[in-house]
Structure 1
Amino acid sequence: MTDQTPLPTSAPTFRVSDVSAAQVLRAIRFRGPVSRSEVADVTGLSKATVARAVTTLQDLGAVRPQPGRMSQGATGRPGAMLELDPAGPVAIAVHIGLKNSVVAVCDLSCRVLAAREIPTESSPGDAVDTLSAEAFRLLDGFRGRRLAAGGVATAARVTGGGCVDHDLLGWAGTPLGELFTETIGVPFSVAPHVEAMAAAELLVGHERHSGTTLLVYGREYIGSALAIDGVVHQPSAGPADLRYLPFGKVPHLDDRGEGLIDTVSDHGLVRAARKHGLTAESVSALGELAAGEGGESGEARAILRDRALALGRVVGTVSAVLRPDTVVLAGQAFTDHPKYLPDVLAGSREVAVAGRAPALRVSTAGRRIQEQAAMAVALDRLCADPEAVLSVGARPGGEESRQKSSPKSGFAA
């Protein structure tokens, strides 16, 4: 193994790539096992270009011929059917949340192979050290596979070089990308997590993407992101700020006049439960109470219904401005309480929209949306230009990188 300096941190592209090797890799991921001829047909690339890309991807350990299976073409010798190499490269995906964080190992099949959730440290240096240590422990299960890249998704403004300003955690100018790159030994990208969730829809949703999709996320943070024709919009000024959008009357919530997130986020719901004398110290406990019988259950249901209506009104307001073709609802505020989705829809319809209203659906990621968002950041460069990433600066995940047990970032909080 060569001792190479990791590539510098970079911002994710969050787009369906038009690089030839990336198009071939995406076709194999969605359709494999697949023949070279079919890859050429679906990508529109010439057979010669596909052949060159396949050779490169095989040499880099990303794809392989499926053992014992050949394609039956109309003429000539049968060719090998192509699939992703199950021993191919892996990436480290990190989601840093307000209370809990997730670290995961994923691969080019866009699967989370292993994951661990741990409490979020208040100090950014401690958070990086703790999450990196968990990453090395997870990598022990994948010895021999190349650790090629990493990514971090979090509810923060991301500036140049992977630095973040995280208002909820009180982090300012924290160089997360640099810290993880130095500690784990591969290049890390960093992105706002709602934009990363929209990128995850591009990554693991349909093979082709056209039109406009609005993703709205709800949990401790409320946010939105927009994808247009396979490209996630990444505003240079930072993610869209929905904190002070109007959300109507919510008599069962605790609206202190401090905005949307303060009122309808998870901590806002727990505060509303206390205001009404309910014994629910978490939103999951509130949901269990709402599923029961009696007076407290009725009040719990009213709280969850008011939040659903408020979120629906926000969805309707943003949709009226941006006019998306589709709205994707992501986050536990939606996925953990499917009974109240009709109230979300009803709230969205309170906002008048000229013409056709957008189609609404819930993200297929469900409760794993945070993992999926982190994976989208971690795999972004690999999927955008696999040859550029895999031919330079990659390291086996099972050897040299694992020698850095109990890493310390050296960041002074």
Structure 2
Amino acid sequence: MTENIHLSGAAQSAPTFRVSDVSAAQVLRAIRFRGAASRSELAEVTGLSKATVARAVTSLGELGVIHRQPGATSQGATGRPGEVLELDPAGPVAVAVHIGLKDSVVAICDMRCRVLTARGVPTPSDPRDSVDLLSAEAFRLLDGFRGRPLAAGGVATAARVSPTGLVEHDLLGWHGVPLGELFGETLGVPFSVAPQVEAMAAAELLVGHERHSGSTLLVYGREYIGAALVIDGNVHQPSAGPADLRHLPFGEVPNLDDRGRGLIDTVSDHGLLRAARAAGLGVSSVTALDELAAKDGGGASTETARAILRDRALALGRVVGTASALFRPDTVVLSGQAFTDHPRYLPDVLAGTREIPLAGREPSLRVSTAGRRVQEQAAMAVALDRLTADPERALAEVASGCAA
């Protein structure tokens, strides 16, 4: 159990997690999704006036975010060639951190919403040790991007986060930990902190599709089971904390070791390995269990491994179905390695969802495009939130040293 840590630094603002309507943000998003474009093309795509686009382009250029594409021109309305603008490959970078129950990852990302490099480490039990270790890894990774300004940072983790950035991480036993301040003091830039499932939903906004309407429910499954709701391009961030699905019923799972301790204990990775050991399977990882299940002619051990994975898929599907019945989204996105690492069991997930009766139209169901990099992309969504929501203000504040 970790006692509260008190710092004298400024309170950390929560990420907005929305598709921004700020002019510079719209211009930046259009270039990111559509590639290099002229001012006229940007005005047409965004619906902004040419004068507004021109002001945003000038500001973003001065801040080092976009520049003229070398050797490229476009035909302007007056017949004169115009500049073609693109994101500057030497532009600002951000540090993205995901803190997991067993393993953590630190990554460097840029304004193109790309993870440039990443490194994983075991999660220390003490929060200060985690910050020290992950900050040291961040400095090592940043050494490969000398000359590119560090503009922001972000942390995603399976925890409740107060409006001032204090982390309540029940699974790690961290309480009242100012993670944003700790990282910010070490790395020297503003750090935001957010619950990981809401951050994963924000990553779908950041890199999934250029435009978003309607409602989307993202369900995450691995060592933690959670959900986040997105409505018309805005991630819902409940003041009481992220939606927790661990107490939902999941039906009978005869091939899993259900000790009456709830969903996470039964269908998480460690729950699968406990069930595999109880069945006499000599596997030490979920990957090995999946490889055993994929064997042709593997005999009884292979059938048992398949039954364990099929039971987890069914249980998760039932939980997804129950959450869908409660939230009634237009779309459901399945995220996390419990779904993405086992595509051959997705039909069982779908079968589980259909065990829960729904009146009216069923939501469309798809797997997150993030795949195995979902933790990195969630952290990236937190790290880039300030920069993509209002790039002019965020970068100007960093440059002047007065960022909140």
TM-score (norm 2): 0.95
> CA offsets per residue over residues 163-194 of structure 1, 9 Å max, x none?
11111111111110110010110000000000
Range with greater deviation from structure 2 (285-294 or 296-305): 285-294
Range with greater deviation from structure 2 (32-41 or 224-233): 32-41
Pairs within 5 Å for 1:277-356: 277-292=280-295, 293-356=298-361
| Partner AA of 1:226 in structure 2 | L
7 and 24 in structure 1: CA distance in 2 versus 1, 3 angstrom threshold? farther
Equivalent-residue separation in structure 2 for 1:336 and 1:391 (angstroms): 41
Equivalent-residue separation in structure 1 for 2:165 and 2:136 (angstroms): 20
* 8 Å Cα contact 1:7/1:393 also seen in 2: no
Shift of 1:23: 0.7
> CA offsets per residue over residues 70-112 of structure 1, 9 Å max, x none?
1113424211011000000000000000111000000000000
* 8 Å Cα contact 1:89/1:107 also seen in 2: yes
Shift of 1:8: 5.3
Asked if residue 169 in structure 1 is aligned to residue 138 in structure 2, the reply is no
Equivalent-residue separation in structure 1 for 2:208 and 2:97 (angstroms): 21
Asked if residue 219 in structure 1 is aligned to residue 222 in structure 2, the reply is yes
Runs of at least 4 residues off by over 3 Å: none
Equivalent-residue separation in structure 1 for 2:395 and 2:140 (angstroms): 23
Aligned counterpart for 1:264 among listed residues 263, 267, 278:
267
* 8 Å Cα contact 1:8/1:187 also seen in 2: no
* 8 Å Cα contact 1:289/1:300 also seen in 2: yes
Equivalent-residue separation in structure 2 for 1:393 and 1:7 (angstroms): 14
Q: Give the aligned partner of residue 180 of structure 1.
A: 183
Q: Give the aligned partner of residue 411 of structure 1.
A: none
Shift of 1:395: 9.0
> CA offsets per residue over residues 102-159 of structure 1, 9 Å max, x none?
0000000000011001111111000000000000000000001010000000000111
SS at match of 1:161: coil
Q: Give the aligned partner of residue 396 of structure 2.
A: 391
Asked if residue 78 in structure 1 is aligned to residue 81 in structure 2, the reply is yes
| Partner AA of 2:162 in structure 1 | T
Equivalent-residue separation in structure 2 for 1:307 and 1:298 (angstroms): 14
Cα RMSD between the aligned structures?
Answer: 1.3
* 8 Å Cα contact 1:309/1:343 also seen in 2: yes
Q: Give the aligned partner of residue 112 of structure 1.
A: 115
Of all paired residues, the percent bearing the same amino acid is: 78
* 8 Å Cα contact 2:11/2:165 also seen in 1: no
Asked if residue 364 in structure 1 is aligned to residue 369 in structure 2, the reply is yes
Aligned counterpart for 1:101 among listed residues 104, 109, 113:
104
* 8 Å Cα contact 2:313/2:345 also seen in 1: yes
Equivalent-residue separation in structure 2 for 1:290 and 1:66 (angstroms): 50
Q: Give the aligned partner of residue 50 of structure 2.
A: 47
Equivalent-residue separation in structure 2 for 1:320 and 1:193 (angstroms): 23
Equivalent-residue separation in structure 2 for 1:48 and 1:27 (angstroms): 16
Equivalent-residue separation in structure 2 for 1:244 and 1:190 (angstroms): 25
- Is there any run of 5+ residues in structure 2 with no aligned partner, and where? 1-8
How many residues were matched structurally? 391
Shift of 1:7: 7.5
SS at match of 1:41: helix
* 8 Å Cα contact 1:153/1:191 also seen in 2: yes
* 8 Å Cα contact 1:158/1:191 also seen in 2: yes
Equivalent-residue separation in structure 2 for 1:349 and 1:295 (angstroms): 29
Equivalent-residue separation in structure 1 for 2:128 and 2:115 (angstroms): 25
* 8 Å Cα contact 1:147/1:395 also seen in 2: no
- Is there any run of 5+ residues in structure 1 with no aligned partner, and where? 1-5, 397-413
> CA offsets per residue over residues 263-307 of structure 1, 9 Å max, x none?
111111111111111112221121112122111111110000000
Equivalent-residue separation in structure 2 for 1:378 and 1:8 (angstroms): 16
Equivalent-residue separation in structure 1 for 2:328 and 2:166 (angstroms): 32
